[in-house]
Amino acid sequence: MTPSAPLPTGLDEAAHGCLVAGFTGTTTVPDPLKRLIDRGLGGVILFTRNVRDAEQVRVLTDTLRALRPDLIVAIDNEGGGIGHLVSADAPDVPGSYALGVADDSELTARCADALAGHLATLGITASYAPVADLQHHPRNPIVRTRAFGAEPALAARHLRAWIAATERRGVASCAKHFPGHGGTETDSHHGMAVDPRPYDELRADFEPFRAAVDAGVPMIMSAHVVFPALDPERPATLSRRILGDLLRHELDFDGVLVSDALEMKAIADRYGEAAGARIALAAGADQVVVAVPDLEVTLACRDAVLGALRDGVLAEERVWEAAGRVRRLAGRYAAPAAAVAGWDTGAGLAAARRAVRLSGVPAAVRGAHLVDLFPSPHPALNWGGEDLLTALRAVDPAATGTAVTGEPEDPDALAGRLVRETGEAPLAVATCDAALHPWQARLRDALLSRRPDAVRIDTGLPEGGALCSYGRGRVNMRALAEALTGV
């Protein structure tokens, strides 16, 4: 085949099947995306930008499938504060860490069932969840309460429950981010993450993925993380050693291996999205995700893959293999269920209540002045920025307070003002991962120096507070408010 020759129709379609594209729009499909779908695009990924309400989402997914019935329509749907379907009436469930703290596999299954049932009503049949990473590095900035916990056995049993419940709804689940993102100090959205641990220490992180494979998970997502003990040259997404030797052969996974988004800086800054697509497929990925709505980026990735096929840099056999797995996935999951049964609407709050931990809190703190400190929402994860004060006032209308979402110019002056506003009322100070955001610790300590009787609350991982919710989803906030007020 000469470099300028067009690819055979079947191979061109197979190569397009290895792509998952993001796009802009809530009611119409952009023309470039239509052309990609016509040539065999394997899937699309929806974000908040594609969501207005539930009825609109279902019309959009029906429109997409009218263009190609075997198109996989996917979304990130982890629960807790991570999700894009709030305006589409998404069920409220806590994040995975709270489910691990509650440690009731049946309750986890009920929460996963609610999420999957809701997706099915919207015509979304693939969920890039659950997180199978273990959260064990105290300064990890990206996994944290998205994980079920730090223990492999605990994560494994909740992964099995989640995957089985999602499967019963006819929705594809996806364990991520292989072989684990929980041992890094860098968020791969922002730069190359490295896990320097030796192989013997890494083995524990493989076990939740092994459990997911044994549970029949149909998809696994790779991590943009370098593991020197596994492959000192390339991140997992681009590593044949990790995707092939470890995942395919040692863990015996034969489902669809999908990359994390290629525009993340761990890939884009060092390799570029287009080269990342080509290398990932050559290394063993079956689909590569380009989540940004700029379809020119997707087209550049597509062109790099087609060019590599023409040049012989990317083996045709590798693309046929990947496309075959994608076709099998689509055959099982592309079409949404004709009818969707209801789900347990109370499971999420029940789990969040079970997860709250208390230490030394009075029986009821009423009429408190709450200072809620938390970072700005992560732009990729689209956490909604739920605040604790709203939940607290729902159960205690006498409560007052303020939310602080960024570093103040003068923490000491702000602390003085907030204490004056509190007056004689009880003071509660909530932080979210203050160890990662030192401004929170400075403001919290300035408040406590003035009011040592203040109740400390942790809304992320525990940091010495009297209460901890293990997450900032809406039901986490509600459960915290109930625990504080004794409701």
- With a CB cutoff of 8 Å and minimum separation 6, the contacts of 472 are 80, 81, 145, 374, 383, 386, 432, 459, 460
Sorted by sequence, the CB contacts under 8 Å of residue 233 that are 6+ apart come out as: 239
CA angle 279, 282, 288 (to 5 degrees): 65
Catalytic residues: 189, 260
The beta-carbon contacts of 362-367 under 8 Å, at least 24 apart in sequence, are: 363/486, 364/485, 364/486, 365/426, 365/428, 365/455, 365/484, 365/485, 365/486, 366/396, 366/398, 366/399, 366/426, 366/485, 366/486, 367/396, 367/398, 367/399, 367/425, 367/426
